[in-house]
């Protein structure tokens, strides 16, 4: 039996079956369609403007490594006019993050992108290893998620960037939709499926991989022979997200479109006014965006400093902006960056769309 030809170019041998569509295609066509889909996502959502300084959240894992490679590739191919940076957060997890950061440092050289590393220890005075010693493994991901989000904003502010991009893929977003439904947190459904979010006092953040399947990201990294760190966080197996992930994998096995279907369902939710979250304000202690007097990071950090870490998880409304003892560690004041002085390309008021970009790129077939 002759080899099956690529469904797209009809010349090369098909060696890949796309999990997302079921198409059997050759390696070169897979690279092209995967990159083009990300480009179309970026231009359709008008994520960037020429001259933007963009920080790529880089953990050394497959998603962020592929994101860094793709962003550099598309920026060069379609002349986005972006200034790209790698931004890594060191949570302080021995045997995991210290090793993965070595991968990020190699990516810095491989892709020729400047790298900024900000650690929990530097910002909060605590590492995740120390936090887990205090709280155990039941709620450690709550601390890590809250601290990492603010650390990304603070690292980006120090770089003077306009925009943060993260490697959250379609599987991640579908898992988040399921988690919010299972926890009854319907108010978050309106935000968790947004490709781009920005508050008045936070840096613009987006997910170019919103519609990219995790399996295809892994295939892309494998066939491109990208340098990434593949070990899972030693604390994540106990995370609540794991239950949503296992459920989603079962759904995907029965119906591959389930991932995108769940995302579209989340996008279609209309949340009643009475269940919407309170309007955000600024933390009275550190100046970061918050929904109460103190932001969640300050609340959690105060709990750690007081030796009662569970207080910040169980009842954040008890926290107040009262003065703390001098020996307590607090988070430095947050200030939005002034990006105007860093511009190397005159910023455009016109977002990047398929109509405004150069059309010199051609298909490999």
Binding residues for ATP: 57-59, 63, 89, 167, 172
Distances (CA, A) of 311 to 22, 127, 327, 363: 49, 19, 19, 56
**Helices and strands: H and E segment counts in the chain:** 13, 10
Measure CA 105 to chain center. Answer: 19
C-beta neighbour count of 275 within 10 angstroms: 12
Q: Where are the alpha helices (DSSP H) in the chain?
A: 27-45, 62-77, 97-111, 120-124, 128-135, 140-159, 170-182, 189-192, 214-224, 241-254, 258-268, 296-305, 311-314
8-state DSSP, 13: B
| C-alpha–C-alpha distance, residues 316 and 295, integer Å | 9
Which residues are annotated binding-site positions?
Answer: 57-59, 63, 89, 167, 172
Smallest Cα–Cα separation from 288: which of 324, 251, 321? 321
3-state secondary structure 236-257: HHHCCHHHHHHHHHHHHHHCCC
């Amino acid at each position: 039996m002759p080899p099956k030809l690529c469904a797209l170019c009809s010349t090369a041998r098909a060696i890949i079956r796309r999990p997302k569509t079921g198409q059997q295609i050759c390696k070169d066509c897979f690279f092209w369609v995967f990159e083009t889909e990300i480009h179309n996502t970026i231009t359709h959502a008008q994520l960037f403007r020429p001259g933007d300084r963009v920080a790529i959240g880089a953990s050394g894992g497959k998603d962020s490594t592929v994101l860094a490679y793709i962003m550099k590739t598309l920026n060069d191919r379609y002349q986005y006019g972006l200034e790209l940076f790698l931004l890594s957060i060191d949570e302080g997890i021995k045997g995991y993050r210290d090793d993965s950061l070595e991968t990020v440092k190699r990516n810095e050289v491989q892709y020729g992108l400047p790298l900024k590393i900000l650690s929990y220890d530097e910002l909060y005075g605590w590492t995740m290893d120390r936090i887990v010693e205090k709280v155990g493994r039941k709620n450690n991901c709550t601390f890590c998620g809250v601290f990492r989000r603010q650390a990304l904003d603070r690292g980006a502010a120090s770089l003077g960037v306009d925009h943060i991009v993260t490697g959250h893929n379609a599987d991640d977003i579908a898992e988040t939709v399921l988690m919010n439904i299972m926890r009854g947190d319907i108010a978050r459904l309106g935000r968790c499926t947004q490709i781009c979010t920005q508050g008045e006092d936070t840096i613009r953040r987006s997910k170019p991989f919103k519609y990219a399947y995790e399996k295809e990201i892994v295939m892309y990294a494998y066939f491109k022979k990208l340098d990434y760190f593949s070990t899972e966080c030693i604390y994540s197996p106990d995370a609540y997200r794991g239950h949503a992930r296992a459920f989603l994998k079962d759904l995907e096995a029965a119906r591959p479109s389930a991932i995108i279907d769940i995302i579209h369902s989340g996008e279609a939710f209309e949340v009643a006014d009475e269940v919407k979250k309170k309007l955000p304000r600024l933390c009275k202690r550190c100046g970061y965006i918050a929904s109460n007097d103190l932001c969640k990071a300050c609340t959690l950090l105060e709990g750690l400093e007081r030796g009662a870490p569970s207080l910040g998880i169980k009842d954040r409304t008890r926290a107040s902006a009262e003065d703390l003892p001098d020996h307590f560690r607090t988070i430095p004041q947050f200030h939005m960056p002034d990006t105007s002085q860093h511009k190397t390309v005159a910023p455009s008021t016109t977002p990047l769309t398929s109509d405004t970009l150069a059309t010199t790129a051609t298909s490999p077939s």
